[in-house]
Structure 1
Amino acid sequence: MLFENVQVHGPSGSTITDVRVADGRVVRAGSDGEVVDGTGLGMIAVVADPDRGHVVGRIEAGMPADLLLVPQRIMPRPGTPWWRVVIGRRDVRGLLTRGRFVVRDGDPVARPANPAGARTGTWIDRADWLHQELLAEGRYDETRGGRRHAYTGRYWLDGDRIDYLDDSGFYAFGSFIGDELYHAEFVMRHG
């Protein structure tokens, strides 16, 4: 797959370039398969960080093709914790996991939500203000400050990463670090 003319964060700032993906990785050469016009779009990598879960990273050859494609004007900065990224549904032009689209033009692509029912149940933040229930069928239901059903929607797990699509129309993301779930400004434990 070839993404043409996308803006990426490089070591010396932003640049417009082509990004190639093959066999689940970013590669230097080759462009077999689909060509995606990235004019006006920015691409960032979703990079595992041992202390912060996943963060926004720079794109480098050889890395796993866990990539987010959005309008340039809303590109998150490198180092931003992934769980702080919230983007309007139609602004997510593409989210790739290991080189395959899991969200395209704002719409999720069919994939299992919660393989083997991992991590289901209620997750509670340290202040007992947020209760996020992850249901086995791939839905979530949040109680915030005692207000039931404050946020509801669908979610998908990819390893230690969780992607949310809220019923009100935005994508949010999170990371599992050890036995804690990081999402927005919250750190939650399984209740």
Structure 2
Amino acid sequence: MSTTLFDEDLLETIAAEPGRPLMFANATVYTLDPVIGDLTGADLLLGGEEVVGVGTGLYTAAEDDGAVVVDCTGLTVVPGVVEDGTVAGLRRRPSDRVGTLAPGNPATFAVISGRPSGAPALERVVWRPEQAAAIVIDGEIALFNGRRLTEPRSEPGTRRSPADSPYLGMWVDETGLIHQELTADGRYDEARGGRPHAYQGSFWIEGDRIVYRDDLGFWAYGRFTDDVLHHAGYVFHRR
């Protein structure tokens, strides 16, 4: 087993044996999974299009797995979301751009230099693909050192327009602190603690999932269950 540096030779190594698992080792990994949390000195193992494992100590089994190991010391791995799906070949549906780096989920993430601190700083970097060392889409490196390696892809099917959604209207969290209005033009307006227009932006709804793109530049998402909205740790009910 050998460890490959994160440089142009990595692409040749992967191309030589495309069927081998790929492991990003010794990275800071922001999984965005509430159970797994943020990890330091961690390994991310891919098996085809999915994340197979994430955590510390996976490197010791890399030889048994036959994995190509990529040394990511000093690099950070985060779920790979960019605003424009045409930039790096990301899927075009907004809800497909948001996920967690948990086993079984799509291996779609960004690798960025250094270790940004704080969610806002991290989000500002992730949403700008030109600042990423690499973007991996479904286990395939789509952008590397600012160079796009894959063509933009589109997916069949149509997205429901906000006007067709049954979830439009005012949603209030259980404490009464947050009032969030979803309107037919695909915009949301959120008041917090009596402060109007605390957050505003666009949203997309597909099935029971809602994705927010705030005008400040960050993304968030939630899920509807039995006419209850779960978002950012809050529970919302209709008003």
TM-score by length of 2: 0.44
Post-superposition CA distance 1:15-67 (Å, at most 9, x none) = 3445534xxxx499xxxxxxxxxx7563669xxxxxxxxx846233xx6x4x6
Aligned match of 1:69: 109
Give the aligned partner of residue 137 of structure 1.
Answer: 185
The gaps in structure 1 that reach 5 residues or longer are 29-38, 46-54, 75-83, 98-104
Higher helix share: 2
8 Å CA contact retained: 1:174, 1:183: yes
The equivalent residue for 2:164 is: 116
Paired residues, number? 144
Letter in 2 for 1:180: V
Cα pair 1:6 1:42 within 8 Å, conserved? no
User: Larger % of strand: which?
Assistant: 1
Paired with 1:129 and 1:27, the residues of 2 have a C-alpha distance of 37
CA separation of 1:27/1:128 partners in 2, compared to 1, >3 Å: closer, same or farther?
closer
**What RMSD, in angstroms, separates the aligned Cα atoms of the two structures?**
4.6
Which one has the largest radius of gyration?
2
Which one of 160, 163, 168 corresponds to residue 211 of structure 2? 163
Contact 1:89/1:171 (<8 A) preserved: no
Q: Quote the sequence identity (%).
A: 32
The Cα shift of 1:177 comes to 2.3
Segments of 5+ residues of structure 2 without an aligned counterpart are 1-17, 32-40, 53-71, 81-98, 130-134, 139-145, 147-153
Q: Which residue number in structure 2 is paired with residue 58 of structure 1?
A: 102
- Select the structure with the greater relative contact order (CA < 8 A; seq sep ≥ 6): 1
Superposed displacement of residue 179, structure 1: 1.8
- Alpha-carbon spacing, 1:188–1:57, altered in 2? closer, same or farther (3 Å): same
TM (norm. structure 1) is 0.54
The SS at the match of 1:88 is helix
Partner deviation per Cα, 1:85-107 (whole Å, 9 max, x = no partner): 9962541457989xxxxxxx9xx
Q: In the alignment, which residue of structure 2 is the partner of 1:20?
A: 48
Question: Does the CA-based 8 Å contact 1:43-1:69 persist in structure 2?
Answer: yes
Match of 2:225 in 1: 177
